[in-house]
Chain A
Amino acid sequence: MNDTIRGLLAKHGNLPVAVTDVADAADLYDAGLSSFASVQVMLALEEEFDIEFPEHLLNRKSFSSIEAIEGAVSEILEEQAA
C-alpha cells in the first residue's frame, strides 16, 4: 500500500520535491503539499482503493504524512470489510 500511495502522491501531489525523498513520517504540508493537491490525491486514492473518505477523516491530519494516509486508508478498508 505504501508504494501505491507514494505512486499516487508522485502523480497528483504536485510536490516540489521527489516523493522518494519524503520519509513516511515527514510532514507533507511542510514538503509543499497544497490543499488542492491533497484533494486530488484523495480522489485518486478513492478511485484506486474503491473507497470513500468519511467525514471524520476529511481533515488536515489524515493527509499530514504518508504514514497518516496509510492509516486512514487502512481504517476505511477495515470498516468496509467489517
Chain B
Amino acid sequence: MNVAGKISPMALADRAKRAAKVAAEFADQVDKEGRFPAEGMEALKQERLLGVMIAPENGGEGASLIEVADICTILGQACSATAMTYAMHQIQIASLADHAIGSEWHANFQRRICDEQLLIASATSEAGIGGNLRNSLCAIEEEGGIARLEKDATVISYGANSDAIMVTSRRHPDAAHSDQVATVFLKDQFTLERTTVWDTLGMRGTCSDGFIFKAEAPAEQILPRPFAEIAAQSMLAVSHLLWGALWYGIAADAFARAQSFVKAAARKTPGQVPPGALRLSEASSLLQLVKANVVAGLKQFDECKGNEDALNAMSFSVAMNNVKIGTSQTILTIINHCMLICGIAGYKNGTPFSLGRHLRDAHSAQLMISNDRILGNTSTMLLVNKQDTSLLG
C-alpha cells in the first residue's frame, strides 16, 4: 500500500458492497436471459473499481491481489457473472501491471483503463488447441511496425462487451507453438465474427461466445515479456486465486441461505433443533476449509510477489493448482449440503432459499481449466517436487 493512493481495504470493500447490491438485484435476470451483467459492471465502473490494482503512477490505487480477491468474494455472493467478469478483467490487469513494465504504450493504456474504466477481455482458447493456454496456432504477422492477427477463438468471455482484448499468439509465423506473446488490441482495432453462442448450464452471464477475431494494431502493443513468463508468474496463479475467492463467495451465499432456512425452522419449533442444523454445521466446516485454502494461497502469492525464482518454483505451481482443485471441488459439496437443508424451497426458483443458480454456476469451477488437466500437471511435477509437509512453511 502506498501513501499517494492511500485507500484502506475497508473503503474498497465498501465500494464493492455498493456495487454488489446492484449486481444482486439483476443476478437472476442475467442468469435466466444469459446476458451480460450490464448493471453490475456499470456499478463497478461507477465505484471506479476496474483499475484499482494498477500502480498509482499509472493512475490506479495500487491495491493488492488480496484486496481484489476480497472484492471478488463480495461480488460472488451477489452475482457470479459480475464476479467472474470482474475477476477475469483483473487477471488481465495483473498481467499488464507486472509484465508490461518499461513499455510506454502499456503504461498509457493502464492510465486509460483507470480514467475511462475500460473493461479488458482475454482470448487464449483457440480452435485446434482447446484450453491449453500455453499453446497457440495463430501467429502475429509484423510488417512496417504494424502487427496483424487472426484467431479462431473458441471462447472470448464478454468479448462483445469489452473495450480491449488481450490475445495470445505465436510470436511470428515460424515460431514454435509454445513461443507465445500477448498483445492488447483496442475495440476500434479488431472485429469479432461470432461462431458459437454461450448457452450453458451455469455462468450464463459471462457470455463466453466464440469468435473469429481479426485485428491490426501498432506492434508496440505486443507485451514486451514472453507469454510463457506471464502465464507462469502471474496469469495462472492470479486466475486460481481470484476464481477461488469468487467461488468461495458463491458457496458463502448458498450457506447464508441455508442458515436462514434453518433459523426460520428453529423459530417455528422452539425447543427443538431443526433437522437441517447438523448438516449446516458440516457445511460450515467445509466453507471454512475453502476460505482457509484461498487465504493461504493469497498469502503465499503475496510473499512470492516480485521474486521471480519463487514464482517460477514448482512448489508454488503445485500450491496454486491445489487451491484451484480444492475450492472447485468443495464448493459443490457445500452447495449440495445447502440444497439438502433447504429442500424443495432450495430446488425451486424464486424463493429466498433458491440454490439452483448457485449450484449450476458452481459446476463451471471444475471445468474452467479442467481439473483433470490441472491434476495431470500437478502429478507430473510431483514426480520430482517434494510436497511441502511443514505446517507453517
Contact = CB atoms under 8 A, between A and B. Distances in A.
Contacts of A53: 384
A58 B176 contact: no
Interface stretch (B73-81, B117-125, B312-320): B312-320
Contacts of A16: 176-177
Interface residues of A, number: 21
B393 to A, nearest CB: 11
Contacts, number: 60
Contact of B178 (A34, A39, A61): A34
A1 to B, nearest CB: 19
A58 B314 contact: yes
Contacts of B226: 29-30
B381 interface: yes
Interface residues of B, number: 23
Given A30-B176, A34-B178, A39 B381 contact: yes
A36 B175 contact: no
A60 B228 CA distance: 10
Nearest to A16: B176
B285 to A, nearest CB: 32
A59 B312 contact: yes
B312 A29 contact: no
A56 B383 CA distance: 16
A16 B385 CA distance: 26
Interface in A7-54: 16-17, 29-36, 39, 42-43, 46, 53
B176 A31 contact: yes
B57 interface: no
A17 B176 CA distance: 9
Contacts of A59: 309, 312-314
Given A58-B315, A59-B313, A60-B232, A39 B380 contact: yes
B309 A43 contact: no
Contacts of A58: 313-315, 381, 384-385
A55 interface: yes
Interface string B109-148: 0000000000000000000000000100000000000000
Given A58-B313, A58-B315, A39 B384 contact: yes
Contact of B179 (A32, A36, A39, A56): A32
21 contacts: A16-B176, A16-B177, A17-B176, A29-B179, A29-B226, A30-B175, A30-B176, A30-B179, A31-B176, A34-B178, A35-B134, A35-B380, A36-B380, A39-B380, A42-B384, A43-B384, A53-B384, A55-B313, A55-B385, A58-B313, A58-B385
Interface of B: 134, 171, 175-179, 226, 228, 232, 308-309, 312-315, 377, 380-381, 383-386
Interface of A: 16-17, 29-36, 39, 42-43, 46, 53, 55-56, 58-61
Given A30-B179, A36-B377, A55-B313, 16 more contacts: A30-B175, A30-B178, A32-B177, A35-B134, A35-B377, A35-B380, A36-B380, A39-B383, A39-B384, A55-B315, A56-B309, A58-B385, A59-B314, A60-B312, A61-B308, A61-B312
- The list of the 9 closest CB pairs from A to B, nearest first, reads A32-B176, A59-B312, A58-B314, A60-B312, A30-B179, A59-B313, A39-B380, A36-B380, A29-B228
